[in-house]
Amino acid sequence: MVLSFSACQDDEKVQTRFTGPEIAVGNGQAWTVVNTDRQGNPLSLSVEFGADALEGLPTGQHHPPSYVLRLPTEVALPPYDHVTLDWNEHGHDPSQVYDIPHFDFHFYFITEAERDRIGPDDSLAFNKPLAPEHLPAGYLETPGGVPRMGAHIIDLQSPEIRGDAPFTYTFIYGKYDAELIFLEPMITTDYLRTKPDMTAEVRQPQEWQQAGFYPTEYRISYDAATDRYAMTLQDFVSVP
């Protein structure tokens, strides 16, 4: 693990940067990053990857690859356990919406062993609804689910769902057995190649189901100096 420091005059903004192990993605590498302030409070959780990770990605595979990214071991950041970076060469359902090449970034609250127990026929658990206070405003629980993943909760206010504009990026939630189990930004490769720097709101449920740090924003950014991208959860609220 890599540990580095950056300083400024305001101690509250001094950050310690913790990085997880690198894994090969395309022709490049990807890894997780947790930034904290001097007191050890988390400021952000990111997936970073070089621009070369967008090249040489697998093609023609029946099951899209899912790259498991470990979190840094030097710092605890509940409720997050691990992250997967899922490459969708042809996108996925629903057709005419998300069926274009993109990455899914799954920030899981559950362990890999718990994911392994989510089977293809778990229709009751997939479809068990969240309590109203656990469903963010303007989101819709969709029927069915995906093995080793869960069921998806889509943003009805997103442009691609409203039909206002094609899909470029969006933020969805995941659940299983009436529990929120992951956060999932999705970003198209075409949008990443525009080298963006954007920040969007993460709408919150009235109540979270477990203690931890939850983002009120997510950021998609490109750094020309390092030729790297970052998908960042930030501006956390702490839930006791």
The per-residue pLDDT for 5 is 42
Chain-centre distance of CA 188, in angstroms? 13
Specify the pLDDT at position 107: 99
Q: Which residues of the chain have pLDDT under 50?
A: 2-11
Alpha helices by DSSP H, listed for the chain, are: 112-116, 123-127, 159-162, 189-192
Mode of pairing for the β-strands spanning 179-188 and 102-108? antiparallel
Predicted local distance difference test score (pLDDT) of residue 15:
87
Partners of 23 in beta bridges: 30
Task: Give the predicted TM-score (pTM) of the model.
Answer: 0.94
Supply the pLDDT for residue 97: 86
